[in-house]
Structure 1
Amino acid sequence: MRRINLYASIIAIAIVSTLFSCVDSDKNFYDSSYRMPNPMGDDFVAPDGFNWSMTASTTVNVEADNEDAQYYSLVEVLDANPFSTSDYNVLAKGTAKPGQAFSQEVIYPQSITYLYIRKTDPRGRVSVNALAVGDKQEDLSVRTAKALKAGTRSNEIPEKYPEETYDTTGAIELVGGADWNQSSQHLESGKKYIIKDKFSGAINNTGAYLNNGNCTIFIEGEWTPSQDRMHNANIVVLKNGKINILKSLLIADNSTLTIQSGGSLVGDNLNLTTKILMKNFGTIIVNSMTQLNTGSILYNAPKATITVAGKSVNSWEQAVYTMGAIYNFGEITVQEGVLKINSQDTTCFFYNGDGAVINTPTFIMGGIGTNDGTINTLKITNNGGGNPTFTNNCSLYAKESFDFKGTSGKIIMNKGILAGGIEGDNFIAIPSFVCGNSGSTFELNDGSMIKAKIISIPGTTIKAGTEGTRSLLKATESISTGSEAYFGGNLDIECPEGKFIGASQNYLGYTMEKSVAQYSPNGSKTIITSCSETTEVPDPGTDPKDPQFPIELEDNHEYSYLFEHQWPLYGDYDMNDIVMTIKKRKISTIKNKVKEFQMDIELSAVGATKKIGAAIMFDEVLANDITKAVEINDTQAQSFNLNDKNIESGQKYVVIPLFDDAHKALGRDQYIQINTISDHSSNVKEVKTISFTISFNEPTVSADAFNINKLNIFIITGGNGTNRREIHVAGYQPTQLADMSSFGGNDDDSSISAKKYYLSKENLAWGIIVPTNFKWPLEYVNIKTAYNQFNNWVTSGGTGNKNWWNDWDETKVFQTNKN
């Protein structure tokens, strides 16, 4: 009984196999009106125009700009950024030199939004440019048009105040000690007073006595104020005069304070409040300077010095709406604490002039400012907020860190340097450069540079001008973009390879215009020169030479070819009747013409139960182009009619046989399923690899002719010879030996006149190419069942689920269910 049941089961399996793997009878091929049910469902139709391609193409043109015009640069097109990852494929490779551009059609997966152009110039220097394709192409063209021109300024340079001379004739002398009180002699508006010796008495100059006007006080000797506040006074420290502040002095209410060259102000705390003008042509040494409020100006003239030994120099103290201005043309030194700009009102403006120097431990950049001189700091920050607009046209140094968080401000650099400082004749890098908010913008014009060890810029825009010298963003250790960063204009980026880090492995994390070039550290050819004539000199490279010819491109990216064998009738759509995988392509070129082409293709599975052969046609290589015999290893094709070049006779284009019996090629004498049923006795571990080499005596054929989209791999059913039944990948043309009488019959909708090949009346395909080492469905399992996203990819016309092959059911594919 067990034997009978077992025999019955075998018969049942055979019947099911017949129903799902082959047509009822071959006679149906000759009845062109016979239709099979749609294997994808009665309502399943692929959109018109959908070509089943999982790759896209673009022509990449690269001009060589190397100064050694007689030599060639090496050009490579990559599918990922080599500065971000080592997991990338070289899609095309060739040469360019001035007057001889590199131009090739490049094939890439449709899910890719960027290609990367890597150039190695004759001196061995490597650069990488991003080329937006697919979804990003429109965005690139729009944003490129908005790139800055070099040399723009956001703020006007304030005028220098001249040092005036003063007439003290008729000035009333103020005399007396600390216990002296001039209450009986009130200072009057419009009158002049003078301190000729030492004076420490109280001065009563309230507005009530001055009728809101100002008096003038000249200091020829030494004044030690006994009060903490002065109102409505124009105070002038003459060339040998001195103010000595014991505790604190507040200058208020429309007063002015002028210190002539040779004069000085020293002491504890100097406060300047609303609408105060302070002009320093001499020397100021105080512990702190605060409350530079609304409408006030602190002017430090050329050769004048201000030293704050204690806390800070501030443009605000009480609230964010208070404002002031600092115009420095001399030297300001803050020994401890901060120098802070904290308002965006136009009356609050910071300016550090040409040749001027500011030294401060911390520079809080929160308002409007321009630097035409040198600012030396340990830390530059926006204190966690504020939206500064700051223009740096010279040297801005932060020895420890640059930290902008929670800001959407703008920093504009015109031939400006933002670095850690200068050591010897070299710029040193800021240890940490952080800008952590979407909306921040850095504009680098005309040879500007940011140099730091570690750069973190999530959501930040860094763009250079489109005119003048290229600018440089230089990271000696790493760059992290986090969320969407943007790079544009004539910008060079230096960073160690593998250390340009996006948001995640599956999210690029940045947008990069084609004009932006990436280099290894010190690899940019741009010479950056600061206003102090310090230069960032690039690596000069080696002596110039051509790359080694022939140029070899070994592409190990795998492409799987899946076929249903019952054309012009539908099959069961498990897409495993024949499974072949291109494992390797190697192209050797001389001046972008092919010297040699090698390919390895693997026969992996046969779900069909009849004899099937296969061959490859090169759709853009004429048979007459072959001048040397094709070398084929261990040929599995005996029934093809080959000429002395080992290509098929009677063909316009080159056709190379792969095998004429798939089962025998895999070592089986019976026509049974191989590697499509779990734990089947016919399965094989050793698949068959067919290798061949095409060589040319004289390179004349373009490398484009050997692109993956020009490799027309097809299968042959029902025997070889003329008028044979060929089944090609959707959209690929038949050979001259194909029987095309079935075009338009049964389920097929092919048309020679419309150049529509091997697509059904529902626009389904009998052959597809998947750009990966594909896990094919088990026997009798429809591909849309094994791959959940396949259905949507097809019905969307290829716009949705572009990586559908990454989502499979492990119970329904052969590779995870061999046993």
Structure 2
Amino acid sequence: MKPMFRVFSFTVLTSTLLFSSCVKDLYDPEVIAEKNPDAEIPVGFKFTTTKNVNLTVNVNDEYNGEKFYLVEVYNQNPLASNSKSKLLTAGVATGRAPFVEDIVVSQSDSVLYIKQTDPLQREVVKVLDVTSATTAVCDFSNYTFTTKSASSVAISTRAIPAPSEKATAYPLPNENQRTLLGSGAITLAANTKYYLPAGVTNNQITFEGGRNNIELYVEGSTTFSNTFSLTDGCKIIVLPKGKIVANAGLNWYGNDVVVAIHEGGSFNINSDASFGKNNKVINDGSLVTKNLIMDNNAKVINNGTFTTPNIQVTNNSVLENNNVFVVNELKGNSNTKLVNNGDLKATSISLTNTFTIDNNHHIEAAYLFFGGGGGTLNNNCFTVCDDLETEQGTLNSAPGSLLACKDFYGNNSTFTLKGNAIFSIGDVAAYSLPTSNKLTSGSNFNYNVVINGVIENSLKPLFYVKSGVIKNGWKPLSLGGFLDVAISPSYDANLLNNVAETVKLSKEPQTAIAETACNGSGATEDPGTGTPTNPSFPIKVETGNEYTFAMEDNWPALGDYDMNDFVFTIDKISYKKGNNNKLATLSFEITPVAAGATNRLALGVQFDKIASGSLSLVSSTDGIGTKENGQEKANLILFPDVYSTFGISSPGITNTDPSKTKYASKSYQFEVAFNNSVSESDINISNLNFYLIIGQNNDVNRKEVHLAGYKPTSKVKSDPLDYTDYNNMVWGLLIPTADFKYPIEALKIQDAYPNFLNWAKSGGSNNANWYLSPQSGKVYNK
């Protein structure tokens, strides 16, 4: 268990702590807070809302160190259209000299977005998890930009499986085993084989119910005008040049019925038909049906041409296409399967309840729907549709394959792309598909859509949104594994949920994939500007970092602990960097917000890593700032009189009491220069030691108030215990936002922010963003 200090009471301010009239100007070790058993704050906790991360970025150097890559670090996705991303830091790198900086982020920040811009001005973003990191490495070097068409990744055409069965497995029986038919009427008998020879037409053949094991071999022509039924073991074999037409209902309700159509033969069913109970249709010729239902382990093996307006596949049935299959509407459910080894063209394919498609060649559809119950597509080659809708769908794409659609809707669905597979959304005009009106134009990622990438043979897959409006719910899309993601249209910052560190985000594909029979037109790489160039040095880095400092002035007494004795913001932090990532200048802006104190106050800053002689003040608004002499480290007096920035001549409660006048204050800009170039790490917010000077600015031994853990300037001679008291309480807070709502006058910060105490007691582990949830009516909002 960590050692603890008892903290000052959060509920009662006792008279021993109210030193406003008798507190000493200097630290007095005899003036301490009383012990209180109500709460505990871990020893060493400095009330920090930020953390330092030592970041290394390895760029994907294609120029052998001769060109510089721009590296930018953001707190949110900079590629999103409405992102509120803030630039945290920036610099340059080569393969020989990575980008290395010690950056400061909010304790609640869990990820960083690292953007690499190469000499061709191509932008790529990776996400880096810094939830509990003190060091982090972002590596772009394992991603390859293809800059020459000759190095485009080619894929071979996937081998198509052989048909599981052919009609030739059902040859004409020997002459002594069959009964020859003429053109006369006949009712077929059970357990008998019949042969209708070539050149003979007989439209008076009757299958009578209840007669099993009838086999009819047709090389001539026959038409069934009345409803007929095939019972157990019956077979109809259409031999080459044979032709059968069924104009009435066809009901195959027996077990193990077989219909086999040889190459050159045809079977047209012009009325609704259904079959099941292990029945099987093998078509090597031409099969045309009206509405067809496959049920109870039925199987169709198409090795020829199969055309039907509507087909329903259900209850463990299998539809295998090895050649040409044209259908208006295909519906499947209940543990059934479509195996496509040929060309399948459909207006609508609707799959529910664990239906599986194994696609080894080409599927083209206007509308492809995976409904509830877990439909699966194993796409090993080419699947393209106008509209793709997935509800609890599982879609797996093999290396070299293409899954493409113009419009997309996804909900509770998972995509797994392997090797150099492509999943694209947007323009599919090149494929001349029939159009669908099932979905509105664009992409709609509704909820829990996951796209995972898997490397195979050193190749990574591509997820590419080419065009169309992107709609989304609240962070519905997660990207995992090794995956290149290119999203060209603008998209909302709340589109992406979890993004793996191995995912690469861009607006255009960064790797060319050559066109093959299985991937349509492949993927064209982003050419960039065509001519590699370096950034113009020095580069100006205008960060989005912004902070609020909230200070108490009664040190070493806690006073009312409202953290509003002086409140100011710092933002517009910018600097110029050379090609060695060293800084020559630094600019920042400070805005006084409130001064809820009656003491005379001045504001200073000490550059803890910069010697006094190494810094000069270039400029400040109205010349308000001065460099302070006689200091070991560089110090600036920013505001010699805090109240004057509000236009007030003497100390008094300012902008903390809602019942009193609010005073405006302008922003003050400061620019400093360094005699010797310094590292950004030396002047980040962690090394800018802001402090208050209480009372007169005494050069001999003045009273300063700093944040916990910071040392006073060399003009303070006494020991301030790192500006924490006996109970580990502090006199100042750094908040990583410029929109911090400070407590109203005399209201303790723990009362204005209900999560503050839990955060402090946990040593910062819990409620890290406590400052985003103020109590209504207890903070200054005037």
Aligned residue for 1:608? 597
The correspondence for 1:61, drawn from 20, 31, 56, is 56
**Equivalent AA in structure 2 for residue 265 of structure 1:** F
Identify the residue that residue 293 of structure 2 maps to in structure 1: 290
Question: Separation in 2 of the partners of 1:386 and 1:500?
Answer: 30
Look up the SS of the partner of 1:540 in the other structure: coil
When normalised by structure 2's length, the TM-score is 0.83
2:463 maps to which of 454, 472, 481: 472
The Cα shift of 1:809 comes to 5.1
Match 2:168 to one of 164, 168, 179? 164
Q: Which residue of 1 aligns with 2:379?
A: 392
Distance 2:126 2:623 in 1: 43
User: For the residues of structure 1 that align with 2:77 and 2:477, how far apart are their CA atoms?
Assistant: 15
* Aligned with residue 589 of structure 1, among 577, 586, 603: 577
Change over 3 Å in CA distance of 1:578–1:21 after alignment to 2:
farther
Aligned counterparts, 1:628-707, within 5 A: 630-636=618-624, 646=627, 648-651=629-632, 653-664=633-644, 666-678=646-658, 684-687=663-666, 689-696=667-674, 699=677, 701-707=678-684
- Aligned match for 2:321, one of 300, 318, 328: 328
Q: Which structure 2 residues correspond to residues 75-90 of structure 1 after superposition, within 5 A?
A: 75-82=71-78, 83=80, 85-90=82-87
2-structure distance, mates of 1:50, 1:735: 22
Alpha-carbon distance in structure 1 between the residues aligned to 2:520 and 2:475: 36
Of 528, 548, 552 in structure 1, the residue corresponding to residue 536 of structure 2 is 548
Q: Is the 8 A contact 2:419 2:461 kept in 1?
A: yes
Correspondence for 1:305: 305
Give 1:263 shift. Answer: 1.1
Which of 410, 416, 419 in structure 1 is aligned with 2:404? 419
Aligned equivalents of 2:179, 2:222: Cα separation in 1: 12
In the alignment, the residues of structure 1 paired with residue 162 and residue 378 of structure 2 have an alpha-carbon distance, to the nearest angstrom, of 14
Task: Tell me how far apart the structure 2 counterparts of residues 686 and 533 of structure 1 sit (CA, whole Å).
Answer: 63
1:740 equivalent in alignment to 2:712: no
- The 3 A distance-change label for structure 1 pair 728 and 611 is same
Q: 8 Å contact 1:565–1:717 — kept in the other structure?
A: yes
- Kindly provide the amino acid, as one letter, of the partner of residue 556 in structure 2: P
1:436 maps to: 411
Specify every segment of 5 or more residues in structure 2 that has no aligned partner in the other structure, as ranges: 1-12, 139-154, 427-441
Say whether residues 1:449 and 2:423 are aligned partners: yes
Q: How do residues 509-528 of structure 1 correspond to structure 2 at under 5 angstroms?
A: 510-520=497-507, 522-527=508-513
The aligned amino acid for 1:285 is V
Gaps of 5+ in 1: 1-15, 142-150, 317-321, 421-429, 504-508, 639-645, 744-749, 751-756
- Aligned counterpart, 2:350: 364
Q: Is the 8 A contact 2:348 2:365 kept in 1?
A: yes
SS in 2 for 1:247: coil
1:463 CA displacement: 0.8
SS at match of 1:360: strand
Q: 1:634 to 1:370 in 2, by over 3 A?
A: same
Give the equivalent residue in structure 1 for 2:369: 381
Structure-2 change in CA distance of 1:470 and 1:100 (3 Å): farther
Residue identity opposite 1:775 in structure 2: K
Describe the SS at the equivalent of 1:460.
strand
2:607 paired residue among 614, 618, 621: 618
**Secondary structure of 1:253's partner?**
coil
> What's the offset of the Cα at 1:466?
3.3
CA contact (8 A) 1:118 1:127 kept: yes
Greater CA drift, 706-715 or 99-108:
99-108
Alignment CA distance shift 1:548-1:703 (3 Å): same
Going from structure 1 to structure 2, the CA distance change for 1:57 and 1:475 (only over 3 Å counts) comes to: farther
Note the alpha carbon deviations across 1:295-346, whole angstroms, 9 max, x for none: 3321112xx21111x3x12222xxxxx2211221100001x3x1123232xx
Q: Which residue of 2 aligns with 1:10?
A: none
- Matching residue of 1:560: 548
Q: Distance in 1 between matches of 2:389 and 2:728?
A: 57
Give the whole-Å Cα distance in 2 for the aligned partners of 1:31 and 1:488. 58
Which deviations, in whole Å up to 9, do the C-alpha atoms of 1:705-750 show, x marking residues without a partner? Answer: 2222221111223533244333211122333333233x4xxxxxx2
In structure 2, relative to structure 1, the CA distance for the partners of 1:51 and 1:413 (3 Å cut) is farther
Paired residue type of 2:218: I
Asked if residue 534 in structure 1 is aligned to residue 521 in structure 2, the reply is yes
Counterpart contact for 2:425–2:443, Cα < 8 Å: no
Correspondence for 1:753: none
Equivalent pair of 1:484/1:511 in contact (CA under 8 Å):
no
Contact kept, 8 Å, 2:306 with 2:326, in 1: the verdict is: yes
Contact 1:352-1:373 at 8 Å conserved across structures = yes
Cα pair 2:227 2:248 within 8 Å, conserved: no
Q: Which moved more, 1:18-27 or 1:44-53?
A: 18-27
| Change in 2 beyond 3 A, CA 1:331/1:236 | same
1:783 aligns with 2:749: yes
Partner of 2:43: 48
CA distance in 2: counterparts of 1:76 and 1:551, whole angstroms: 12
Q: Could you tell me which amino acid in structure 1 is paired with residue 463 of structure 2?
A: L
CA deviation after TM superposition for structure 1 residue 90, in Å:
0.8
1:523, distance to aligned residue in structure 2 (A) = 5.0
Tell me, in whole angstroms, the C-alpha distance in 1 between the residues paired with 2:596 and 2:118. 50
Please say which of residues 705-714 and 250-259 is displaced more in the overlay.
250-259
Q: 1:373 to 1:763 in 2, by over 3 A?
A: same
TM-aligned CA deviation for residue 664 of structure 1: 4.7
Match of 1:108 in 2: 105
Measure, in 1, the Cα distance between the counterparts of 2:395 and 2:742: 53
Deviations 1:558-612 (A, max 9, x none): 3111222222222221222222221321122123221321112233333333333
- The match for 2:435 is none
Q: Aligned letter for 1:780? A: A
Structure 1 position 123, deviation (Å): 1.7
Post-superposition offset of 1:91: 0.9
Whether 2:332 is the aligned partner of 1:341: answer yes
Aligned residue-pair number: 714
> Is contact 2:479-2:498 (8 Å) kept?
yes
Shift of 1:30: 6.6
Following TM superposition, by how much is the alpha carbon of 1:787 offset from its aligned partner in structure 2, in angstroms? 3.2
Q: Distance in 2 between matches of 1:599 and 1:740?
A: 31
Deviation of the 1:21 alpha carbon: 8.1
| 1:257 pairs with 2:259 | yes
Aligned to 1:499: 491
Shift of 1:163: 5.8
> 2:178·2:195 contact (CA, 8 Å) conserved in 1?
yes
Q: 1:518 to 1:661 in 2, by over 3 A?
A: same
**Counterpart-to-counterpart distance in 1, 2:28 and 2:454:** 69
* One-letter identity of the residue aligned with 1:262: G
CA distance in 2, matches of 1:352, 1:68: 46
Change in 2 beyond 3 A, CA 1:89/1:195: same
For the 8 Å contact 2:511–2:525, the answer to whether it is kept is: yes
Q: Comparing 548-557 with 361-370, which one deviates more in the overlay? A: 548-557
Contact 1:409 1:441 in 2 (8 A): yes
- Partners of 1:560 and 1:769 within 8 A in 2: yes
- Name the counterpart of 1:273: 276
Shift of residue 380, structure 1, vs aligned partner = 0.7
Do 2:275 and 2:293's aligned partners in 1 also have CA atoms closer than 8 Å?
yes
**1:220 alignment partner AA:** E
**20-29 vs 411-420, which moves further:** 20-29
Is the alpha carbon distance of 1:31 and 1:242 closer, same or farther for their aligned partners in structure 2, counting shifts above 3 Å?
closer
- Please tell me the root mean square deviation across aligned C-alpha atoms, in Å: 3.4
Distance 1:22 1:371 in 2: 81
> Does structure 1 conserve the Cα–Cα contact (< 8 Å) formed by 2:293 and 2:311?
yes
